[in-house]
Structure 1
Amino acid sequence: MDHIRTSVGTPGQQPRTRRRFGVRGTAAAIATSALAAAVLTAGTGTAQAAPDAGLGYDPVADKGSLHNIAEVIGAHASYRAGYTGKGIGIALIDTGVTNVPGLHSGNVVDGADLSFDSQDPELAHLDAYGHGTHLASIIAGREAAGTTQNYQDPKRFTGIAPDATLVDVKVGASDGAVDVTQVIAAINWVVEHRNDHNIRVINLSYGTDSTQPSSVDPLAFAVENAWRNGVVVVVAGGNDGQSQLTLANPASDPYVLAVGAVDTKGTTSAVDDTVPEWSTRGSNTRHVDVVAPGVSVLGTRVPNGYADERNPTARVGDRFAKASGTSQAAAVASGAVALLLQQNPTLTPDQVKRQLMSTAMAFSSTDSKYRGNGTINVRTAQTKPVNKSGQSGQFWGSGTGSIEAARGTSHVHDGAAPLQGEVDIFGNAWDPQAYAAAVAAGTIWDGGTWRGVQLTGAAWESGAWPTVDWGQGTWTARTWRTDEWTARTWREGAWVARTWREGDWSARTWRDEAWSARTWRTADFAGTGWV
């Protein structure tokens, strides 16, 4: 197969040099990574009006259009009041961001690439999978830097916080593979560099099925540390539906904003809102805090990417794809948080969470275990008095639990063996006490070194964060730079036919027999890995 290397974007309008890569051949299922799952959906909009010639869909009639969603959650009213997310940084910890139209107007910057792809210069920072690009467009997409008035124009593609700075922190490889230690390192990195682009928000559409208590879990400890340092961590609740009554890890931690999905039916009233059957339910003691639109959401796609090629019926026009999931809902909520923080930058994470919860629109089709406090409305949150109180500190965790337990059933595989046990992606022993102490002290990162291993560059260079050679790190006999390792994903224009457990990706954590039809609706992709 040909290795497609096509420049993306409009000539003369490419502040980020990006390439897109075709993904052809057989699917390589080399991970059971629990990345909070998106759901590509085909033809599930509301009214079947004539599509807009420039977009390929009707932005007013289609319930999944960002124009419609922005109206539902009060974002248009925020724009009219002068708030577009300007000055607020949002770190997207995901599968990268590709410079497609809608994401090439100058408000997306390359942060650290901690993915396996970072060892291939042709894939570093790029999203060959498609999940991160879709979410980035929901959060901060725009055709061009504009005004509060033209951000309300239905003919222009506009994300929820179009003037926010989107910091691309890549952890997921071109086949989606990621280990929990990479996600932890990414969260730690954002805390270390939170002042570089005024990063006030982390979007984490990721979760594992770990049952380890958040009071000891190392992933939960990482998000709690971000929260303590003034960063609002928005986490997708998961797409497990009725299969269990616990949120994904770390959405289950009390010191995050856990977001579920809502089907708004395309109306601004919450009266007819419902929670999709696949949006993870919680318990009386811990459930999602709020819900946000997450059904058939229209965002940018990566042409010929992993998800795009396997879900052709999800494509809408030339540029977009529909996807459903708590990933998309979390992205909507992250944009709303940026609008709220621009209006009131002194808010603490506790206050942001309380403000969105207390002003959410409850609905009667289900109870709080399904919808939390209800559907968010950012303009209402901006105009209501702020409750200055904070959350109780009695539930802060220690971070001294098991890293293997944090993975749950999700394990990356290098073609020789899965990564298992109390080790990181380099096979180095995981010392929970040393980890927790370094995170608490703010010393877990030293320049480009995390836990004593050089993972990335040490400083911003020309507006982007450089990648480095990981050297000879390995958890099996294979090294990072050998053909055996790099062939596990995209190489020479094809996906390798190695599969994990002799099957395809699964519905909950990419691990069993087949993608569930309740997530990527073409029965090809699934559930609660990348949410």
Structure 2
Amino acid sequence: MLVRAFNGQGAGRYTDVIAGVNWIVANRDKYKIRVLNLSFGASPQSYYWDDPLNQAVMAAWRAGIVVVVSAGNEGPSPMTISVPGNVPYVITVGALTDGNTPYDPTDDRLASFSSAGPTYEGFVKPEMVAPGGHIASSMPSSSYLATLDKDSMNLASNLFTMSGTSQGAAVTTGVVALMLQSDPSLTPDTVKCRLLVSTRPAITAQGKLAYSVFQQGAGLINAVAAVNSPATGCANRGLNLQADLDGSAHFGGPANIDDHGNYVIMDMEGTAWGDTVDADGYTWSKGYTWSKGYAWSEGYTWSKGFTWSKGYTWSKGFTWSKGFTWSKGYTWSKGLAWWEAMSQSYATGTRSASIASWVPNE
């Protein structure tokens, strides 16, 4: 089912999107809605719990709907996760590209445009990555985007090729549908847990993580393993969705920034709050290459489990105020000249991540 909240140019207001999410929650039983794909993004302007769109998304999760969200296409810089991908409860997805060789996995790599975490509240995002480079999908040749970029439109088959984390989120949504078809009793938290434990992280020839958890999360999606996984209780630990929604408690994640400007995972079990986890992949100094392919290993053992998915009550101070402002906005005209003329009209709205930050060559 498609619930439309954007206009023909791929732009929409917060109120329209919130109304769409609320309609889905209200009609979930009537139409048997179990999973919701949100392939769009807006720049964070507040903490996740104060954002009205995020509140609507959290209410959908509470209602039993698995929400899958695109991470955003503002990478590779850190702290570029979009709203509502910055909601800690949902499944936020980054993008993998296959180097234009779909039958050769050896050159598969993290897409350079894929947004990276952590979020302003210290949560690791994205949780995982999925194929998002030059994905072909059905689209009428008369649609606005097809007329805008005729080179990406295959008129004979009505297929349009795009790149973005929106495509990765769509792939993940399909896998979630398979999981719920196999076991309709799964809760959103259990679906997220099974997706996490069944992923395949990218590793180097030396057996180390090729990308930080702030870039690839737990790794590349594995549909067969996710459907067959028996895992429970490994996602959204330490969080309380009802408390978040009623305002009685809010939560932060285990990410922080060290004295050298590196993004790190804190050891939440240690004796001193703020100590960093001493393991590969939990520190990101932005020294990773993007052009090289890596092996996506099914045999990698996370040395600290999924401690990075744990939340805690927001009471201990972070240093996130250091150099960061909520006024950071998207460059509306980036990549699409036609957007410039409409920027004033939609300056307070959201935008389709797969359109506004489209990267055709990944």
Separation of aligned partners in 1, 2:231 and 2:360: 41
- Counterpart amino acid of 2:108? D
> Higher RCO, 1 or 2 (CA under 8 Å, sep at least 6)?
1
For 1:258, what is the secondary structure of its paired residue? strand
Aligned to 1:248: 82
**Corresponding residue number in structure 1 for 2:129:** 291
Tell me, yes or no, if structure 1 residue 324 matches structure 2 residue 158.
no
1:176 alignment partner AA: G
The one-character-per-residue Cα deviations of 1:45-66 (angstroms, maximum 9, x if unpaired) are: xxxxxxxxxxxxxxxxxxxxxx
Inter-CA distance 268–359: structure 2 relative to 1 (3 Å threshold): farther
1:347 alignment partner, one of 170, 186, 193: 186
* Distance in 2 between residues matched to 1:176 and 1:384, nearest whole Å: 37
Pairwise CA distance, 1:395? 5.5
Give how far 1:244 is off. 4.5
- Residues 243 and 230 of structure 1: CA distance in aligned 2, closer, same or farther (over 3 Å): same
Q: Work out whether 1:361 is the aligned partner of 2:200.
A: yes
Give CA deviations for 1:271-298 in whole Å, capped at 9, x if unaligned: 5431111110112732101111000101
Residue in structure 2 matched with residue 236 of structure 1 by the alignment: 70
Cα gap change, 1:348 to 1:302, in 2 (>3 Å):
same
SS of the equivalent of 2:12 reads: coil
1:384 maps to 229
Q: SS of 1:279's equivalent?
A: coil
3-state SS in 1 of match to 2:40: coil
Q: Distance in 2 between matches of 1:356 and 1:268?
A: 23
**Does structure 2 retain, via aligned residues, the 8 Å contact 1:208–1:407?**
no
| TM score, norm. by length of structure 1 | 0.45
Q: What corresponds to 2:110 in structure 1?
A: 275
Q: Which amino acid aligns with 2:111?
A: P
Task: Select 2:44's aligned residue among 201, 204, 210.
Answer: 210
Letter in 1 for 2:230: P
Q: What are the within-5 Å matches in structure 2 for residues 160-179 of structure 1? A: 167-179=1-13
* Percent identical residues: 31
C-alpha distance in 2 between matches for 1:395 and 1:180: 25
What is residue 31 of structure 2 aligned with on the other side? Answer: 197
Out of 239, 258, 262, which is 1:394 matched to?
Answer: 239
Q: Is the 8 A contact 1:351 1:388 kept in 2?
A: yes
Q: 1:509 to 1:386 in 2, by over 3 A?
A: closer
Aligned residue pairs, count: 262
Q: Give unpaired runs (5+ residues) of structure 2.
A: 204-209, 248-324, 333-337
**Tell me, what secondary structure is at the counterpart of 1:292?**
strand
Structure 1 runs of 4+ aligned residues shifted over 6 Å read 405-408, 502-505
| Cα distance in 2 between the residues matched to 1:262 and 1:498 | 29
Counterpart residue type for residue 293 of structure 1 = P
Give the distance between the partners of 2:229 and 2:339, measured in 1 at CA.
55
Larger radius of gyration: 1
Q: Deviations over 1:344-370 (max 9, x none)?
A: 111110110110110001112322111
Q: Which residue of 2 aligns with 1:222?
A: 56
CA contact (8 A) 1:215 1:395 kept: no
Match of 1:315 among 123, 130, 153: 153
Q: Which amino acid aligns with 2:191?
A: V
Deviation at 1:171, TM superposition (A): 0.4
Q: Give yes or no for contact 1:180–1:406 (8 Å, CA) kept in 2.
A: no
Deviation, 1:500, is 3.3
Q: Give the Cα separation in 2 of the matches to 1:370 and 1:261.
A: 10
AA at the equivalent of 2:185: T
Secondary structure, counterpart of 2:109 in structure 1? coil
RMSD: 3.4
SS in 1 for 2:34: strand
Residue of structure 1 in register with 2:175 after alignment: 336
